[in-house]
Amino acid sequence: MLDQLLKDYNEQLTRNGVDGRRLAERLTALSEIGKTEAGGCRRIAFSPEEQQAKELVMGWMEEAGLQVTQDGAGNVIGVLHGTSPERSVLSGSHVDSVPDGGHFDGPLGVLAALEVAEAWKTQGIQPVKTYEVIIFTDEEGARFQSGLTGSQAMTGQWEQAAKAALSDTSGKSFESVLSENDLSFQSFREAERDFSTIDAFVEVHIEQGKRLEKEDLPVGIVQGIAGPSWLNVSFQGAAGHAGNTPMNDRRDALIAAGRFVSAVEVLPPKVSGTSVATVGKLEVKPNGVNVIPGEVNLTVDIRDIEEDSRDKLRDAIWLLAEEVAEDRGIDVEIEQVMYVAPVKVKQDMQDRAARALEKAIGRRTYFLPSGAGHDAMMVGRKTDVAMLFTRSQDGISHNPAEWSTLNDCVETVHVLKELLEDLCGIRTEA
């Protein structure tokens, strides 16, 4: 991986204390932990591999002069004390992965945040505000199908009953897995922090989409993080013999579902430019070759960075399901099974990120939404947040083929550094 990263690297990007080769070496070192036969990585939450990755980064943090601790949820916190340490600014991401994931989703955000501290050390800079590099536990949620665990603990946004009900694919309960890692629900509660002294959190992440690639830009500024609303929709008709039931005497639930799915696609652009809707799961009953489908159950994932427009789209999709069912003479049942409020990035934080981008790399600013959830979503309910996206090759993510060039990664670090210097009260020469 190192040779591939360095192959076309522009050495002129190694400046102002930021070292592209160091970043490449560290991305490569992390990629070896939990490496799969397909060339991806498997660092599932609360696994030895996740902890090994954390400990490797903790060693680098200490070398950079940070004071390093691990809290009761397993989050890693590396602290660089400022000259006025009563206020703090945070940056970071995660190192866990999906079962056969890529090498940039999460680690880039952690190593970018650490690279800023390394650059300041090289330049002899001490921030005014205290700076913290964070590694959040279990962002992906691959083990318990419930992610953002570390940021939930740090912000106090979790419920013990809900966590206690979780179990992994091997049948281990969430509580027993905590115990295996010398953690507990009590330690989780103790991981909650007082955010009244934390001024901002900045997260770098790969885009996981193609917008920046289409714009031919290395870095983008996130406007907000979409919150999902999931609808379970059940179309209920009547099963029957495929040969003996005339076409004009059928109550085919799959025909209704098909019309519904096709119509869902055209609704989001009518609501807003940042809303999306996806039918990604569909179950047909009785699912026989020669049987008219009597029931179809499906789930609609509806997202937007604006809660009002997301809810407007949800209501339109709900009405559509009812209208299709009525037109086809069948029944429909609809239930909202998830509702997560989106998090908007404040305009001031977007503006500061835009100024940092212009000053650091002189590129055109491009603003885009995040359709995926991130730890910044949890933290953003407690303090100001900003997110920077790094261009993803072909938009591929959660896949061994996930890739961002070293040039794009280092340009992102320069923007992050400029933004953090603004937030931490560091004044440097233009």
Contact 128, 425 (CB under 8 A): yes
The first and second tokens of residue 265, run together, are 């696609």
**CA-based nearest residue to 298, from 314, 289, 285, 307:** 285
- Dist. CA 186–CA 190, nearest whole Å: 6
Half-sphere exposure of 12 (CA within 13 A, CB side): 1
414 marked as binding residue: no
Instruction: Report yes or no: 370 and 305 within 8 Å, Cβ to Cβ.
Output: yes
Q: What residues contact 17, with CB distance under 8 A and at least 6 apart? A: 118, 119, 120, 121, 122, 123, 417
Cα 371 to Cα 389: distance, rounded to the nearest angstrom: 12
Q: Where are the alpha helices (DSSP H) in 33-142?
A: 48-63, 107-123
DSSP E strand stretches across 250-376:
276-285, 291-292, 295-304, 331-339, 343-344, 367-370
φ and ψ at 173, to 5 degrees? -75, 155
241 is in an annotated binding site: no
Residue 94 annotated in ligand binding: yes
Q: Is 81 annotated as a binding residue?
A: no
Q: Are strands 291-292 and 240-241 parallel, antiparallel or unpaired?
A: antiparallel
Query: Which of 75, 6, 84 is closest to 46 using CA atoms?
Result: 75
How far apart CA 322 and CA 302 sit, in angstroms, is 17
Continuous segment of H or E residues that includes residue 334: strand 331-339
What distance in Å separates the CA atoms of residue 222 and residue 205, rounded to the nearest whole number?
10
Q: Please confirm whether the linkage preceding 246 is cis (ω < 30° from 0).
A: no
Cα 278 to Cα 234, 281, 316, 368, distances in angstroms: 16, 9, 14, 19
Binding region for Zn(2+): 94, 105, 140, 205, 398
Binding region: 94, 105, 140, 205, 398
